[in-house]
Amino acid sequence: MSEAKTVVAGIVNFLKQQLEALNVDSRESVEVAVQCIETAYDLTQEEISKGVDLLQLVRQQSGNAGAIQAEAEKLKNEGNESYKENLRLTEEKLARSERPAMDLGGLLQNPSLLNMATELLSDPNMQNLISGLMDNNSGANAPGGVNALLEAGQALAQQMQAANPELVEQLRRQMHPQGGQGGNPQPPAQ
């Protein structure tokens, strides 16, 4: 039996169940309607007996509507909670990975860096610069002390760049591994 005949047989069964609740005139009209439907769809008594119980389906759907709505609400809340948890985890991961800690031990064990530092410190110009800073007794807190320190740092960076540009680039990548700018930092405004 096709699905359409199953539904039509269900309608016929429903109408027959309703006959007792109707007055005489309405009952006759429904009986005529049932006969017309049975004839139009060429339904046998066997097919009518296999029809679905429409009232039972409606009751099930009505009862399920609340359960379905509750399940939908539960899934929606779980989705929002999952979203919030994923957002929290992502923010934590970003906070941890924004600025990785510099590996000073690794830098000090780099033979190229140690060789370059040795060469720079043996350069008479650098020795004079460092000696001038020490002899000046200006310190970092005295006027001009910060500027002199910055100038010394810039001079050291320029000499390092001239002596071994590959090593300087490697150090920049280590300091800014996520593609950040590796340029010299700007001195603070005065």
Per-residue pLDDT, averaged over 150-169, amounts to 81
> Are 22 and 32 contacting, i.e. CB atoms less than 8 angstroms apart?
no
What are the b/e assignments for 108-133, b being 16+ CB within 10 Å?
eebeebeebeeebeeeeebeebeeeb
Which CATH number, 3.30.70, 3.40.50, 1.10.3470, 1.20.5, labels domain 3-52?
1.20.5
Tokens 């309608």 identify what position?
A: 11
What local confidence, expressed as pLDDT, does residue 182 receive? 43
The average pLDDT across 7-31 equals 91
Q: Alpha helix (H) ranges present in 19-53?
A: 24-40, 45-49
Total-model pTM: 0.36
pLDDT band of residue 180 (cuts 50, 70, 90) is very low
Per residue in 108-142, pLDDT tens?
777 877 888 788 778 887 777 777 776 665 554 55
Q: At what angle do helices 111-122 and 145-163 cross, to 10 degrees?
A: 120
Give the model confidence (pLDDT) of 26-50 as tens digits.
Answer: 999 999 999 999 999 999 999 998 8
Q: Which residue has the tokens 């280590």?
A: 174
Give residue for tokens 């090593």. 167
Higher pLDDT, 24 or 173: 24
Domain segments of the chain as ranges: 3-52, 58-98, 104-175
Q: Tokens standing for 123? A: 């350069």
Tens digits of residue pLDDT in 49-106 = 888 888 888 888 777 777 778 888 888 888 788 888 888 888 888 777 755 566 677 7
Tell me the pLDDT of the chain averaged across its residues.
78
25: tokens are 């005139």
Give the model's pLDDT for residue 121: 78
In 3D space, the residue among 147, 133, 152 whose CA is nearest the CA of residue 188 turns out to be 147
* Cα 181 from chain centre: 26
The two tokens of residue 180 are: 């950040």
Burial class (CB in 10 A: 0-12, 13-18, 19+), 67: exposed
Q: Cα–Cα distance between 33 and 60 in angstroms, integer?
A: 27
